[in-house]
A and B are shown apart, each in its own frame.
Chain A
């Protein structure tokens, strides 16, 4: 081991608590679907979906940082792992989702009926 390891079972249980609470909130919102969030859009997606995505990234942060112990690694390793993933995923999503919206428009406005 290059660095001293400190046992931290308390933190593990705290993180478990956080993840459980967030999941419970997600399930509650998913079943209840409050109209205020569900019917209002931001960037062509409803607020509820944005909240789900936000909470998911929040959970992902805790899994990677606490469970996979990223917080104990060197900053260079952290960046080497996290930065390419974030960049490439955003890039991929941007291209695919914009393109999908375009294809949707083409189908919608075309003179040919394709699904009836």
Chain B
């Protein structure tokens, strides 16, 4: 692979070939330009997320209510801690990567291999953490109801605390069988049925007078909003979701149409339908990058062990995959900000 390391000297003859106007080898330069185009792809996704968010600025889900899970801490609301941990893991794997590149410049084979190994482990832990995050997101926690008009109703008790469907939904003597392909024609099936039917949630809601409906709308604590008699002003707080009065809650519940549990590409229990789509797409695309990064790192790791770069007297390949790996970290820094913080 003579092309990867240009040794031809040429201070003169700018157009004669064999020289490096940018002071970087062909492969490294192309990695940089690949990163530019990939950065623009991710910017496109995040900008589209921003578009949808500004479009639904009054109803967009609040991230610190959605991502509240931490391993081995059930029922404890721990917003942000888990993603912060993931961020640290990824930053640290970036550090080990740059240490591997550094060792490569000093032609220390075993050191490069060791740091590459740590980087791979860090990458795998990150992908695993993301899988766990997805599991919680898809599974959901509280459940909600979608109205005929397409808006989402969540439930709180008379102190404003979120209530799960299972805590109040009634059990009615009804039988609803899941339609599967083997029960109808080959093309006939339906998505997994929710645990409770709309009637069960409505009946449970009637039987529990302390339950209130929480809408997607973010509450504004100003004089104009105070006049709204449909809103429970004692429970609703500024910049949080609006909680309705019992009377208005009952009216809204008559329009209940679908029980929503967890998240899929069509609807989710957190609020705006686009929220889950963007979550799956952006973190999924990033996770795919991390995964391919791990694979590439494994290949380079074995090349280091086999002494390929030792024979070449240049560890530039480590530097190139290093660039990609840092880029993945860089993207995560932005995803972290725009999905979890802002």
Give the B-binding residues of A (Cβ under 8 A): 1-3, 5, 7-9, 12-13, 16, 19-20, 23-24, 26-27, 29-31, 38-39, 49, 52-53, 55-56, 59-60, 63-64, 66-69, 73-74, 76-77, 80-81, 84-85, 88-89, 92-93, 96-97, 99-101, 103-104, 107-108, 113-116
Chain B residue at minimum C-beta to C-beta distance from A31: B80
The CA-CA distance from A66 to B95 in the complex, in Å, is 10
Give the A-binding residues of B (Cβ under 8 A): 20-24, 29, 32-33, 35-36, 39-40, 43-44, 47-48, 50-59, 64, 79-81, 84, 87-88, 91-92, 94-95, 97-99, 101-102, 105-106, 147, 149-151, 216, 238-239, 255, 314, 319, 322-323, 326-327, 329-330, 333-334, 336-337, 340-342
The residues of A that contact B102 with a CB separation of less than 8 Å are: 7-9, 12
The CA-CA distance from A38 to B150 in the complex, in Å, is 30
5 interchain pairs, CB-CB under 8 A: A7-B105, A26-B341, A30-B79, A63-B333, A93-B43
**Are B47 and A23 touching (Cβ within 8 A)?**
no
In terms of DSSP, what is the predominant structure of the interface of chain B? helix
Nearest CB of A to B58, in Å: 8
The CA-CA distance from A100 to B46 in the complex, in Å, is 13
**Are A92 and B149 touching (Cβ within 8 A)?**
no
Contacting B44 at CB < 8 Å: which of A49, A74, A92?
A: A92
The residues of A that contact B106 with a CB separation of less than 8 Å are: 7
Chain A residue at minimum C-beta to C-beta distance from B85: A27
Given known A12-B99, A63-B326, contact A84–B36 (CB-CB < 8 A): yes
Given known A31-B80, A81-B32, A81-B35, contact A74–B22 (CB-CB < 8 A): yes
Contacting B47 at CB < 8 Å: which of A52, A55, A96, A116?
A: A96
Given known A2-B20, A52-B341, A85-B40, contact A27–B81 (CB-CB < 8 A): yes
Nearest CB of B to A92, in Å: 5
**Are B330 and A63 touching (Cβ within 8 A)?**
yes
Given known A53-B342, A104-B57, contact A99–B327 (CB-CB < 8 A): no
The CA-CA distance from A39 to B222 in the complex, in Å, is 12
**Are A30 and B36 touching (Cβ within 8 A)?**
no
Chain A residue at minimum C-beta to C-beta distance from B103: A7
The residues of A that contact B50 with a CB separation of less than 8 Å are: 93, 96-97, 100
Given known A12-B98, A81-B32, contact A100–B52 (CB-CB < 8 A): yes
**Are A103 and B55 touching (Cβ within 8 A)?**
yes
Contacting A31 at CB < 8 Å: which of B22, B79, B101, B216?
A: B79
Contacting A30 at CB < 8 Å: which of B57, B64, B99, B327?
A: B64
Leading 8 A-B pairs by shortest Cβ distance: A100-B54, A116-B149, A74-B23, A77-B22, A5-B105, A100-B51, A56-B337, A96-B51
